[in-house]
Amino acid sequence: MNMMSSPPAKAPAPPVMSERRVALLGGLLIAIGPVSMALYTPAMPEIMAAFGTTASAVKLTLTAYFAGFALAQLVAGPLSDGFGRKPVTIAFMGLYLAASVLALAAPSIDALIAARFLQGAGAAVGVAISRAIVRDLFTHEKSARIMNMMGIILAVGPAFSPVIGGLVMQAFGWHAIFLVMAAGGLAIVLGTLIFMRETVRRDLSRIRPAAIARSYGQLLSSRYFMLSTALIGCSLGAIYTLASILPFVLIERVGLSATQFGLAMLMQSGSYFFGSVAARAMMGRIGSRRLVPIGLGFVATGAVLVAIFSRAVEPSLASVMGPVAFYAFGIAFIMPAMMTATVAPFPHIAGAASALSGFFQMASGLLGTLVAVMIGDPLVALGWIIPVMGLLAVGVWLVFHRLPDPVSHVTPVEAPAPTP
């Protein structure tokens, strides 16, 4: 009896971009926002003198940047689900490039505030698109590895940006900082045109108002999404809040100079960098999800030490930045798995999921900053807000890790057909 052999199973098509290319492109996109903020801060006193304005008016340029960065994510994500990742990235980074030129030629502080808002709106595409592209092509441990590499790039860029911004300003004046930003925006636009491949099919039905509302409604009603986003928000929200507290604690209470403060902040960014490297070394052996409780252990340790040292000892560089270093080191273990979790179950609306998660992260930092303003005393705010956020992150994990993993039931997104 003749037996008919079944045809061999068709091998899955390789992704349109490699892990390395996605990690590098995503890292550059996600870092442009924090880098643009860190490059700018050394120039704030010079800008205040140049325009003959007040410190409050110059601080509005930061507020405007944050507002544009937070709100534009909610637009960029859904647009990329409908038009595609590549054209939306080019459009928003083109806006960033144009806004950098406008800031360079700003005739007044009001014009600079408007330009900074547009800069933030353009840079917001990096957060929304980078994680969505990872979800389009990879899941599980491959996705976590890429998120980890993006985190390493994110740690390096903002760490050295204040130093670079200060050197550029001293050599060429504050206008040159925006020239550097414009050059960076142009480089990302060209890199996107040359190296980025489209990862979703164009479907304009996804950008109808009703479709966008359904997408955000689905995300807001998902416990898996909301809890994974809340865990990231509590963790990173503390870091965003520290950006508004630490200058007053370290400069006014500890007595550091502006230069010493910049070097002290390397303890935070350096800890995150080394934590990301350590997490990458351990990820292959135990998996990214098992790194989360390890990271939360460091976060909880840092939170408790902040609470104790802010009350029991006179503030010093070691008593303030030592616990912060523990906190930042732990966050590096948390991010790969949790950033993957926020987009993994939603391949059809990955842009919207990435955008909404990024918005909540910014909102948590804004909330922490507002509470710090209400408290008034920066040392008291440090001793309450950071421990509460860290311990909330631990509590969220205790609920989240009991949820079933929905990713195994999700159908992967079909890659777009090559354009002839």
pLDDT at 13: 59
Q: What is the CATH number of the domain that holds 285?
A: 1.20.1250.20
| Nearest Cα residue to 155 out of 392, 285, 325 | 325
Residues 154 and 279 in one domain: no
Q: How many CB atoms lie within 10 A of CB 383?
A: 19
| Nearest Cα residue to 117 out of 182, 67, 186 | 67
Residues 234 and 351 in one domain: yes
Domain-located, residue 232: yes
Q: pLDDT tens digits for 103-158?
A: 999 899 999 999 999 999 999 888 888 888 888 887 777 878 888 788 777 777 76
Residues 102 and 198 in one domain: yes
Residues 158 and 235 in one domain: no
Residues 189 and 324 in one domain: no
| Count of structural domains, the chain | 2
Question: How many CA atoms, within 13 angstroms, populate the side-chain half-sphere of residue 366?
Answer: 15
pLDDT at 298: 94
pLDDT at 101: 94
Q: Backbone dihedral region of 84: left (phi > 0), alpha (psi from -120 to 50 degrees) or beta? A: left
Residues 196 and 235 in one domain: no
Residues 174 and 232 in one domain: no
| Nearest Cα residue to 170 out of 235, 251, 234, 259 | 259
pLDDT at 114: 93
Please check whether residue 149 is in contact with residue 211, taking contact to mean a CB–CB distance below 8 angstroms. no
User: Of 207, 237, 272, which one is at a domain's C-terminal end?
Assistant: 207
Domain-located, residue 98: yes
Domain-located, residue 173: yes
Please check whether residue 272 is in contact with residue 332, taking contact to mean a CB–CB distance below 8 angstroms. yes
User: Of 154, 179, 207, which one is at a domain's C-terminal end?
Assistant: 207
Please check whether residue 15 is in contact with residue 138, taking contact to mean a CB–CB distance below 8 angstroms. yes
Distance CA 118, CA 114 (A): 6
Question: Tokens 């403060």, residue?
Answer: 261
Q: Where are the alpha helices (DSSP H) in 138-174?
A: 140-172
Domain-located, residue 347: yes
Residues 349 and 270 in one domain: yes
Residues 285 and 173 in one domain: no
Residues 203 and 223 in one domain: no
Domain-located, residue 4: no
Residues 232 and 134 in one domain: no
Top-confidence residue, 26 or 43: 26
Domain-located, residue 5: no
Residues 202 and 224 in one domain: no
Distance CA 332, CA 144 (A): 12
Q: What is the mean pLDDT of residues 279-296?
A: 87
pLDDT at 3: 45
Domain-located, residue 9: no
Query: Token digits for 187?
Result: 């480089």
Domain ranges, residue 93: 17-207
pTM: 0.79
pLDDT surpasses 90 at 208: no
CA angle in degrees (0–180, nearest 5) for 150-187-335? 10
Binned at pLDDT 50, 70 and 90, residue 258 comes out as: low
Distance CA 302, CA 297 (A): 9
Q: pLDDT tens digits for 68-114?
A: 888 898 888 888 888 888 999 999 999 999 999 999 998 999 999 99
Domain-located, residue 178: yes
pLDDT at 405: 72
**Non-local CB neighbours of 87 within 8 Å, separated by 6+ positions:** none
